[in-house]
Amino acid sequence: MRTIMKGLMGLLLLPVVALAEGYPEKNVVYQITFNPGGGSDIRARQQQPMLESDLGVKVPIQYKPGGGGSLGWAELVKKNPDGYFMSGINIPHIILQPLARDNAGYQTDQIEPVILFQQIPFGITVMADSPFKTLEDMLAYAKENPGAVTIGGSGTWDATHIAHLQFEKMTGLKFTYVPHKGGKPKQTALLGGHTMASWFGVSEWLPYGEKVRNLAVATNEPVETNPDLPTFKSLGYDLYSSVYHGVGVPAGTPPDVLAKLEASFTKIANDPEVRARKLKDGILPIAMSGAEAKALISARKEVWAPIVEEFK
């Protein structure tokens, strides 16, 4: 059904794409809001050759790291909305930063999502030798010893942190959330026994194989890589947590230009080889249109705004 819908939408878009014949006439800059060599950079450099052959112009990659990405997104919204400057975007970052900070330098609705091309669901992971065999074990222990369970996360006001706060509210229990300077230090801390449990993405726990055990994953349906792993929903907790990676342009970009960019990125996202590699690494390959992404952003914003307000 979904593919049929997409096909129909594609047909509808065809005349629009034809209108944007002139675009692009010069290089389209692809901005990365994190350090060179990070996940976002590597991803963009994988897309770069395919984008260049599809758009017919050079797609130079530029860096503007800092502030957890906020410096780059502040730069993005200052650019002309003409389609010649786009930037990698992450959800929840672009929703949470303007909510949590007085001066993030941009507002979420100043960014027009072009596409979200991958999703990484999160869950709670412990070491294989942990006494917590199930989520219930951990909750029971936390009930006896409020605040004694340390759960690692990748940072403050990121996907893991907001999931943690939601989870604490749902269970009514107290854990100690330990933020880290990104995903890798968080993984090291769990492996070294410095934290008791941790919020891991599927792509983060897969490489550790039998060394780790997952207690639950925050998706609607069980994930393909771990079919037996219960979802939070099946255990009675209405928790959904994923990080989404995509591309955005400044709000006000003409629809035909948006359509052209979306078409290019959709083509790459649906490339069988790209999909296969992502699945192998524990990343869900998706090709969520700009319109769908906008709906997702506003839905999430509604859920998160009160939580951020409460804990800010």
Q: Toward another protein, which CB reaches closer, 77 or 261?
A: 77
Q: Toward another protein, which CB reaches closer, 54 or 292?
A: 54
Rounded least distance, CB 188 to another protein, Å: 5
Q: Indicate if the alpha-carbon torsion angle 305, 306, 311, 312 is positive or negative.
A: positive
Q: Toward another protein, which CB reaches closer, 57 or 100?
A: 100
Rounded least distance, CB 236 to another protein, Å: 25
Q: Which of residues 96-115 bind another protein (CB under 8 A)?
A: 100-103, 105
> CB-based contacts of 145: which residues, under 8 Å, 6+ apart?
none
Q: Toward another protein, which CB reaches closer, 119 or 187?
A: 187
Count the Cβ atoms, other than its own, within 10 Å of residue 68.
21
- Number of residues forming the site for another protein (CB under 8 A): 58
The interface mask with another protein, positions 35-74, x = CB under 8 A, is xxxxx-xx--xx-xx----------xxxxxxxxx-xx--x
Q: Confirm or reject binding of residue 81 to another protein (CB under 8 A).
A: no
Which residue's structure tokens are 């996360």?
153
Q: Toward another protein, which CB reaches closer, 133 or 312?
A: 312
Q: Toward another protein, which CB reaches closer, 13 or 151?
A: 151
3-class SS letters over the chain:
CHHHHHHHHHHHHHHHHHHHHHCCCCCCEEEECCCCCCHHHHHHHHHHHHHHHHHCCCCCEEECCCHHHHHHHHHHHHCCCCCCEEEEEEECHHHHHHHHCCCCCCCHHHEEEEEEEEEEEEEEEEECCCCCCCHHHHHHHHHHCCCCCEEEECCCCCHHHHHHHHHHHHHCCCCEEEECCCHHHHHHHHHCCCCCEEEEEHHHHHHHHHHEEEEEECCCCCCCCCCCCCECHHHCCCCCCEEEEEEEEECCCCHHHHHHHHHHHHHHHCCHHHHHHHHHCCCEEEEEEHHHHHHHHHHHHHHHHHHHHHHC
Stretch that binds another protein, among 9-17, 30-38, 234-242, 298-306 (CB under 8 A): 30-38
The interface mask with another protein, positions 110-149, x = CB under 8 A, is -------------------------------------xxx
Q: Toward another protein, which CB reaches closer, 7 or 49?
A: 49
The interface mask with another protein, positions 177-216, x = CB under 8 A, is xxxxx--xx-xxx-xxxxx-----------xxx-------
Rounded least distance, CB 109 to another protein, Å: 19
Rounded least distance, CB 73 to another protein, Å: 11
Q: Toward another protein, which CB reaches closer, 15 or 193?
A: 193
Under the rule (CB under 8 A), what is the footprint of another protein? 29, 35-39, 41-42, 45-46, 48-49, 60-68, 70-71, 74, 100-103, 105, 147-150, 155-157, 176-181, 184-185, 187-189, 191-195, 207-209, 277, 280-281
